[in-house]
């Protein structure tokens, strides 16, 4: 798993290189700290229809039409269909609301980029204050290659490659009733505070990864390890990259369901202080008894924060979990890892535009 994006990250700075080898620097929050409070009202609505019945046939063209340093919510309403394109919201276009009409089963954005996390993602969001509802982002590369996995393995070729469906950089980004479909590295939850509500995430290897400070509520997690070549027996849901004890990042899963095929571990530690918590989640039989893997942090398991609280289901038996899994009381969970305490301290979620 390669974690270098198409720009360098340094102390919350985004450094973009141009074709002339010059570069431009943006601070992640520059376009949200100094703009007028957009409130929760949508100031403008534009519509995308792939048949050409509206002003825009592609989602990217609609985003490109939004002025830089936008200060009011713009609703991009996307009519049902399969949009074969890469979509990117640049850092200087905050307050964008992408809404798929008919829900995530009716509106899909798909592409087959692969090999690197800095070039493969179907959807990339760099701006703060972004909302997405009712859209599925899919990377079709590994899924299309699945039919040839056994032939490729026989010939000594590693056909499974990083192939991102989405990567999220901006602070205060929220996803409602949306889908993320891939096999390896499906969702790159890079950095910033993110909220996922009633979403669907599919994959097999490190398919939720990064250093975001994110709260996943009532999420369906579909494990597809049996789609991998036969030598690969166990997958990993998370690869969280928290770098220090002061790093606020982590993944918290409240409620939801883990199901699917094969065997999967809840997470492996990409960062030295990796932090992932499942609570009140229905863990299906697909969850392997060990539960977690120290991976790159073997010998430093004491710094890793992995916990399960009040989970249920066939995969929730913790008697055979790794000995270093943390124990957490319900009171500590509510104090430090509730939605309000972990990602919504300034009540930004309640200020989002209406998503229904």
- Mean pLDDT of the 186-214 span: 98
CA distance 48 to 93: 18
CA distance 329 to 336: 11
Does 252 have pLDDT greater than 90? yes
Report the pLDDT value the prediction gives residue 150, as an integer from 0 to 100.
53
- The whole-model pTM stands at 0.88
Does 143 have pLDDT greater than 60? yes
147 pairs with which residues across the strands?
Answer: none
- Provide the pLDDT confidence category of residue 230 given band limits of 50, 70 and 90: confident
Q: Judge whether 315 lies within some domain.
A: yes
Q: Judge whether 322 lies within some domain.
A: yes
- Tokens read off for 41: 């009202």
CA distance 161 to 138: 15
Q: Judge whether 337 lies within some domain.
A: yes
Report the pLDDT value the prediction gives residue 4, as an integer from 0 to 100.
40
CA distance 253 to 310: 12
**Tens-place pLDDT, residues 13-26:** 554 443 333 444 44
CB-CB contact of 122 with 164 (8 Å)? yes
User: Of these residues, 206, 218, 293, 346, which one is catalytic?
Assistant: 206
Does 219 have pLDDT greater than 70? yes
- Provide the pLDDT confidence category of residue 145 given band limits of 50, 70 and 90: low
| Residue 293 annotated to the active site | no
Distances, alpha carbon 197 to alpha carbons 123, 160, 232, 260, in Å: 18, 29, 31, 20
Q: What is the CATH number of the domain that holds 343?
A: 2.160.20.10
Q: Judge whether 142 lies within some domain.
A: yes
Q: Judge whether 29 lies within some domain.
A: no
Domain that holds residue 50: 34-351
- Here the contacts of 59-63 (C-beta below 8 Å, separation 24 or greater) are 59/83, 59/85, 59/87, 59/98, 59/109, 60/85, 60/86, 60/87, 60/88, 63/87, 63/88, 63/89, 63/93, 63/96
Structural domain total, the chain: 1
Does 55 have pLDDT greater than 50? yes
- Provide the pLDDT confidence category of residue 54 given band limits of 50, 70 and 90: confident
Does 288 have pLDDT greater than 90? yes
- Mean pLDDT of the 174-193 span: 98
**Tens-place pLDDT, residues 300-325:** 999 999 999 999 999 999 999 999 99
Report the pLDDT value the prediction gives residue 13, as an integer from 0 to 100.
52
- Mean pLDDT of the 67-80 span: 95
CA distance 165 to 183: 9
Does 125 have pLDDT greater than 60? yes
Q: Judge whether 279 lies within some domain.
A: yes
Q: Judge whether 4 lies within some domain.
A: no
Q: Which residue has the higher pLDDT, 55 or 244?
A: 244
Q: Judge whether 24 lies within some domain.
A: no
C-beta atoms surrounding 223 within 10 Å: 24
Q: Which residue has the higher pLDDT, 315 or 54?
A: 315
């Amino acid at each position: 798993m390669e974690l270098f994006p198409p720009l360098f990250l340094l102390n919350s700075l985004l450094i973009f290189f141009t074709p002339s080898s010059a570069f431009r620097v943006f601070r992640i929050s520059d376009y949200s700290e100094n703009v007028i409070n957009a409130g929760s009202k949508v100031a403008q609505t534009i519509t995308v229809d792939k048949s050409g019945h509206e002003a825009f046939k592609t989602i990217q063209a609609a985003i490109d039409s939004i002025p830089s340093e936008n200060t009011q919510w713009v609703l991009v309403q996307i009519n049902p269909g399969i949009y074969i394109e890469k979509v990117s919201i640049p850092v200087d276009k905050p307050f964008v609301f992408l809404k798929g009409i008919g829900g995530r089963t009716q509106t899909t954005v798909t592409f087959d980029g692969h090999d690197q996390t800095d070039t493969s993602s179907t959807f990339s969001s760099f701006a703060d204050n972004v909302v997405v509802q009712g859209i599925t982002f899919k990377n079709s590369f590994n899924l299309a290659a699945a039919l040839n996995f056994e032939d490729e393995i026989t010939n000594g070729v590693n056909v499974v490659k990083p192939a991102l469906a989405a990567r999220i950089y901006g602070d205060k980004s929220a996803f409602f009733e949306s889908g993320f479909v891939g096999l390896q590295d499906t969702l790159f939850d890079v950095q910033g505070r993110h909220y996922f509500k009633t979403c669907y995430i599919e994959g097999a290897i490190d398919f939720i990864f990064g250093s975001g400070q994110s709260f996943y509520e009532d999420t369906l997690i579909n494990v597809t390890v049996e789609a991998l070549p036969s030598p690969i027996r166990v997958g990993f849901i998370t690869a969280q990259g928290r770098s220090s004890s002061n790093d606020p990042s982590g993944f918290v899963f409240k409620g939801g369901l883990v199901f699917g095929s094969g065997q999967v571990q809840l997470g492996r530690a990409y960062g030295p202080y990796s932090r992932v918590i499942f609570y009140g989640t229905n863990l299906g039989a697909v969850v392997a008894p060990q539960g977690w893997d120290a991976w790159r942090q073997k010998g430093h398991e004491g710094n890793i924060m992995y916990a399960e609280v009040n989970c249920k289901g066939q995969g929730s038996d913790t008697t055979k979990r790794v000995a270093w899994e943390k124990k957490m009381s319900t009171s500590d969970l509510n104090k430090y890892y509730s939605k309000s305490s972990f990602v919504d301290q300034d009540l930004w979620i309640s200020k989002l535009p209406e998503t229904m």
